[in-house]
């Protein structure tokens, strides 16, 4: 299922296509804002999303073979609910 399929499913149940598209886009926009602010998102029966920091680590440049350090990064971690599958 992709975003367009989700919008179609919502429009069949609740409202018109343009209203469902706006609603789905707003939900994703609010989720992005919450994750950027470092908040945890919990959706009962689906799972939770939270931001974790990745440590910096050594690596090699594939072209030159010279060692480089990969800087620390933020990433989104998903933990599914027990009832999901």
Global pTM reads 0.74
d(CA 35, CA 43): 14
Sign of CA dihedral 9, 14, 20, 26: negative
Average pLDDT over residues 48-69: 94
Query: How many residues comprise the chain?
Result: 85
What's the chain's average pLDDT? 91
Residue 68: pLDDT band by 50, 70, 90 thresholds?
A: very high
Q: Domain 40-85 belongs to what topology?
A: HU Protein; Chain A (4.10.520)
Residue 43: pLDDT band by 50, 70, 90 thresholds?
A: very high
Average pLDDT over residues 59-77: 94
């Amino acid at each position: 299922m992709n975003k367009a399929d989700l919008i179609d499913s919502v429009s069949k149940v609740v409202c018109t296509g343009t209203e469902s598209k706006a609603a789905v886009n707003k939900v994703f926009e609010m989720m992005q804002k919450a994750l950027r602010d470092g908040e945890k998102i919990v959706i009962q029966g689906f799972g939770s999303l939270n931001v974790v920091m990745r440590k910096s680590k050594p690596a090699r440049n594939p072209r030159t073979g010279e060692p480089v350090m990969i800087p620390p990064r933020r990433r989104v971690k998903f933990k599914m609910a027990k009832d999901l599958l």
